[in-house]
Chains A and B, each alone.
Chain A
């Protein structure tokens, strides 16, 4: 009787099969890592590998986690433990426009929460979520170091300074596909 967890996943669900180019790119990156000098320190490259994998796939689905775990010979539980620990990593697909509201102290005292509320209201999602159409991701992050422009909103790499609740709809309008 073949076991349910045997063999490869199905192409329609396994993202590594659905995107062979991306998978090849990640494999090439992992294979090029200098791991042989210290076989017992392979996991030292875990975080950079996850950064790279997230860059390639946009997020870290289970199959990608498994791929990294296999290459570095650590358990998938530990890989997931790391992913869920660091706020930079996500195992869910995120919107194309990553809207991040800085909630560092300077932005907080200048009313970042009101801006966040307004985004939540207009997009009808909470922080850490993406809109169902996959366009917007809403997040909060700590201090981007642009305290003089507080409150600050980042959309992908673009920084909006001195943001008011009124500007929220303008910012969203800037995000044209």
Chain B
């Protein structure tokens, strides 16, 4: 242990700790901006570049950045001397001098760290005015908006995109005052290998990266009486949206969510969980088939559009591996605009399917050409959890006080197997529950596959189903996926099935979720809530969902049928990595 004092108060911290960590132990706050840490994924971005955390260390000629200065025995740190405060205020002043002051209309208004710093430090005027950087906004994609005028060069997005996800869209570009983070040749995101996972949006402390918003399109659809507007809600939304309204992280807000959507005026409020159960039916059928044939193993899950696009760009030689099953969002759209539309006598082109997703990539997924039939997209509009929260606020709905309401039938019925799709490992666990029953012909008592749960990046399990020793792996975070796929390519690892989610921890940490601001505990609580929701549901296996059974009986015949293939399966494209 290293002994030091911070503001004359003694503290002992392990060797290798930073001044920031020592100060935090004493509950002394030092402002940070570029620093970013998520303990649960062992991720730390420590570039020491913004200099907002500078403190005075006795005996040093210059101020020291607290976030990356290691402690030393006998060190005397002062966080609030006039010199340090003046320096921090000046740094903030400089950042603001090259930053648009349009906070009122910024997509990150009230979620911006620069804004909150200005407020915390009581900075009321910018002393060092001068030239400001100007760039064209990038609104090329369906998912992520870039406004480089607001980039503060914290480089957190680079760590998210390049180090954690290994997608590699961003780099620091140019130098000096013109330095900024951008894709190669300042290309619009739509023309890059970006998978739209949105981890950069989560990481960006300011308004330089945000989602492309479709709230107004939803308002317009709701206002159009000639249209039937149905909405689906993804599993991970229900355990996160409460945070936007002051509920503690980990609150299960399913009933309030449904109630709010009904108040907003959706004709029917359905659940993506229904489609998740449907996905399990199709995917498990495919898994069993591949195992029996011993061909094209391992099967990779295909629910996550970010992961799918990653595979198409980075591992085009492996595009035969993922399950051909569409994602739950797209299955929902396909069923809503066929079976359900037919049931209620609405033409598909008169129906609007809105998705509420924890994800930004789902916006992109819905726009993929192959998910359109006869010019009608399966899913019309995708909103993130955050955008829905905005709409609820805009409509003046007191979310926390809402009475719980149930989903509509028949696309609102779901099982515990579906709700855990929101956590890394959930899809695989759901598939195992069904596969075990189908392969053994019995009904499995114990449905909890603990080995595939948790926020670890790569998890492995061997599950005994009858005679079969099923080898499975679960990956979340594309960097982890890359590691695993490289191993498979080299023939160093063999599995039957692998679940891959683009975002570390799965959808609960999606790019469209309420900002976690580097607080790991928020993500842990969301995960606990998903498994709690699973436990609390009466049915916990997808194939036991009565409305799924009804759907097959009435319409799809059986998993893997011709019509199921037509509506619920897709194919993948090789895309350029370079």
Using CB atoms and an 8 Å cutoff, list the residues of chain A in contact with chain B: 1-3, 5-7, 62, 65-67, 69-70, 74-82, 84-85, 91
Contact = CB atoms under 8 A, between A and B. Distances in A.
B173 A6 contact: no
Contacts of B172: 81, 85
Interface in B182-220: 182-185, 191-192
Contacts, number: 65
A69 to B, nearest CB: 5
A78 B182 CA distance: 10
Contacts of B66: none
A136 B174 CA distance: 24
B169 A3 contact: no
A5 B574 CA distance: 9
Contact of B575 (A5, A84, A85): A5
A66 B573 contact: no
Contacts of B574: 3, 6
B90 interface: no
A27 B175 CA distance: 29
A75 B185 contact: no
A65 B575 contact: no
A74 B162 CA distance: 10
A63 B547 CA distance: 53
Contacts of B184: 62, 65, 75-77, 79-81
A1 B191 contact: no
Contacts of B370: 1
Given A1-B370, A62-B185, A80 B171 contact: yes
Interface of B: 162, 168-175, 182-185, 191-192, 312, 369-370, 573-578
A80 B577 contact: no
A69 B184 CA distance: 11
Contacts of A84: 173-175
Nearest to A86: B175
A5 B172 CA distance: 24
Contacts of A76: 168, 184, 578
B490 to A, nearest CB: 12
Contact of B185 (A7, A70, A74, A80): A80
Nearest to B175: A85
A176 B534 CA distance: 80
Nearest to A80: B184
A39 to B, nearest CB: 11
A24 to B, nearest CB: 18
A176 to B, nearest CB: 35
13 contacts: A1-B369, A3-B312, A3-B574, A5-B576, A65-B184, A70-B578, A75-B169, A76-B168, A77-B168, A77-B171, A84-B174, A85-B172, A85-B174
B182 to A, nearest CB: 8
Contacts of B171: 75, 77-78, 80-82
B185 A81 contact: no
